[in-house]
Structure 1
Amino acid sequence: MAIPASDIGSVTDGAEAGRVALTFFFNLMEHWGCSREQQRVLLGSVGNTTYFKYRKLPAIRLPRDTMERISYLMGIHKALRILFSQQPERAYEWVHKSNAAAPFNGQSALEYMLAGRVIDVADVRRYLDGVRG
């Protein structure tokens, strides 16, 4: 990834933080192999116009909800990189694998997050933080 998840915290809350967050987001989506529609849902069900504006990686102050979602995704990425430190490719595959554990109940983490609520993304983050210990 071009921008480590830890770097977002060093950027002030403003237009530059938005650009850094979007750069991270789109890099992660490429690694996860997410479709445009999946990306739009993970960003908070943004419209096509907004999505394509974000793809240009502008220096933009993102809505609080969008920043919160990306922050959770950063935590998910970080936790997976720690859990699969010896096999980084597995960190990117994990989100696509079905998982019998709660809260997934047979869904993949990505399917679970695609319900569209910010709490769903937060649940995946909490789950991974619990597994990490």
Structure 2
Amino acid sequence: MIKTDIIHPDLLQALAQCGHKANILIADANYSFLTNTFPKARIIWLNFTPGMIGSVIILEKILGYINMEKATLMASPAEFNNTIEREYRGILSKEIEFEYVERNTFYSLAKSSDTILVIASGETRRFANILLTVAPTLI
């Protein structure tokens, strides 16, 4: 019996295959998973119903398995109250670089061959998509 925080077999296998500089996209419930990701990226469907499973809990659990060096977010309008971005910052270590890019640049990054894993969440908040870059493992 597996005794870890993540018991989803496909997700565990996909995480094990993520090497240094690979990108992992945690996408919100409104994201176009098939048209705005690399065609060969593996999609793990965790979006059972709106609001379940949220991207914050997915991020928390993934960080228990993989070191990240960078987080890329789609830039939101200045007047937008981006609550999820604050939650992401609270979870990610201060050493992780944060980058904000405009919408089309974000989609281009998600479509690159570096994006090998896409996790479809049930997150319903706007601007919740986060592209994570895997850091080298320190031995």
Task: Flag the structure with higher strand content.
Answer: 2
Task: Flag the structure with higher helix content.
Answer: 1
TM-score by length of 1: 0.29
TM-score by length of 2: 0.28
